[in-house]
Amino acid sequence: MGGTDRKNGFIILPLLLFLMACSGTVLCYGRSVYQEAEAVREFLCRKQLETIAQSFMLISLQQEKETAISDAVYNLPLLQPGNNEVRIVVSVNRVKDLGLRFLKVEVADSNSNEFSLRQCVMFFPAPLIQLLENPVTDLSGSAGKEETGEKKNTITSKSGGAVFPQFSIGEIAEWASTGFPSPLEMQRDGLSGWIYLSRKEISLPKGLKVNGDGILCFGEDVTIGDNSVFTGRIIILADCNLHIGNQVRLEKSLLLCRGKVTIGTDSFINGAVMAKQGVVTGENVTIIGDKEVLEPFNSIISY
């Protein structure tokens, strides 16, 4: 009998080990299935929030064609899967003197998932368009010539007592992305129709070639290096001084600078320039007025 018991014990022990291994496998499989189901649910929730944000963005832009849009908050019925409440916040901010409007749509559910979209438009007001009828508008009241190592011309134009448009890069930064692309990214990817903002003093390298449209905002002094070319439509908003190097080509550009604009020798600008503290040019600078730079600027819809 004792031998039989020992034999049965040897049989039962492997069986128990086998069953334990099987149960562990089942638990692991069950956990894997649960995690996969959770991942699918999270993905579906995310896609639902994206779809809702896109819909409200397009509705707001369509509504704007008929009437001014304003801040609004909406609550939607529970979303499935997840049984989550959804809240939509539409925020609008304006820089009146520039005709600049920022629109942001934020969608969040009760499970802390969120998604947002942004868009902006610059629809220049009539007083600003009138100011920019001349290719160059210098509101400094300066005259004559300035010596800075080489002879340069200080441009003056009749401003009729006009006031420079009120804006600050700080208020724009609250709504726009504060990331500014590197020179390599600008040359490789171009501008994609959004606002690019730098709070710090920045110097773009020589020989930069940038395609695409965009609004470039600078909170401190900015330098565009010699032999640089911007082929698309750009709007430069500068809080301080703007220095454009030699042999630079800005092929469709509007420059609004609260400081002084300095333009290097043999440079070419097609568009319009407005400076609060003076415009100084080197030799053989060409500035050609182009009213197309005053057309409304609609950005892409950005994350």
Q: Given a cut of 70, is residue 150 above it in pLDDT? A: no
Q: What percent of the chain has pLDDT over 70?
A: 78
User: Both 196 and 82 in a single domain?
Assistant: no
Q: What is the pLDDT of residue 206?
A: 96
Shared-domain flag, residues 115 and 205:
no
Report the pLDDT value the prediction gives residue 20, as an integer from 0 to 100: 57
**Looking at 67, 89, 122, which one is the last position of a domain?**
122
Give the pLDDT of residue 151. 43
Last residue of a domain, one of 74, 89, 122: 122
pTM over 0.75: yes
Q: Which of 93, 122, 151 is the last residue of a domain?
A: 122
Question: Domain limits at 166?
Answer: 126-296
Residues 202 and 247 in one domain: yes
Does residue 12 carry a pLDDT above 80?
A: no
Per-residue confidence (pLDDT) for residue 179, from 0 to 100 = 77
80 or 287: which carries more pLDDT confidence?
Answer: 287
Q: Which of 16-20, 195-199, 239-243 has the highest mean pLDDT?
A: 239-243
The band of 23, judged by pLDDT with boundaries at 50, 70 and 90, is low
- Mean pLDDT in residue range 270-279: 92
The predicted-structure confidence for 155-173, as pLDDT tens digits, reads as follows: 445 455 567 888 888 888 8
Using the predicted structure, report yes or no on whether residue 132 has a pLDDT greater than 90.
no
Look at the chain and report how many structural domains it folds into: 2
Question: Rounded mean pLDDT of the chain?
Answer: 83
In this predicted structure, what is the pLDDT of residue 146? 43
- For residue 76, what pLDDT is reported? 85
Q: Tell me, yes or no, whether 114 and 245 share the same domain.
A: no
pLDDT tens digit sequence for 24-57: 555 555 566 555 656 666 778 888 889 999 999 9
Q: Annotate the chain with three-state secondary structure.
A: CHHHHHHHHHHHHHHHHHHHHHHHHHHHHHHHHHHHHHHHHHHHHHHHHHHHHHHHHHHHHHHHCCCCCCCEEEEEEEECCCCEEEEEEEEEEEEHHHCEEEEEEEEEECCCCEEEEEEEEECCCHHHHHHCCCCEEECCCCCCEEECCCEEEEECCCCCCCCCCCCCHHHHHCCCCCCCCCHHHHHHHCEEEEEEEECCCEEECCCCEECEEEEEEECCCEEECCCCEEEEEEEEEECCCEEECCCCEEEEEEEEECCCEEECCCCEEEEEEEECCCEEECCCCEEEECHHHHCCEECCCEC
Whether residue 98 is found in the same domain as residue 146: no
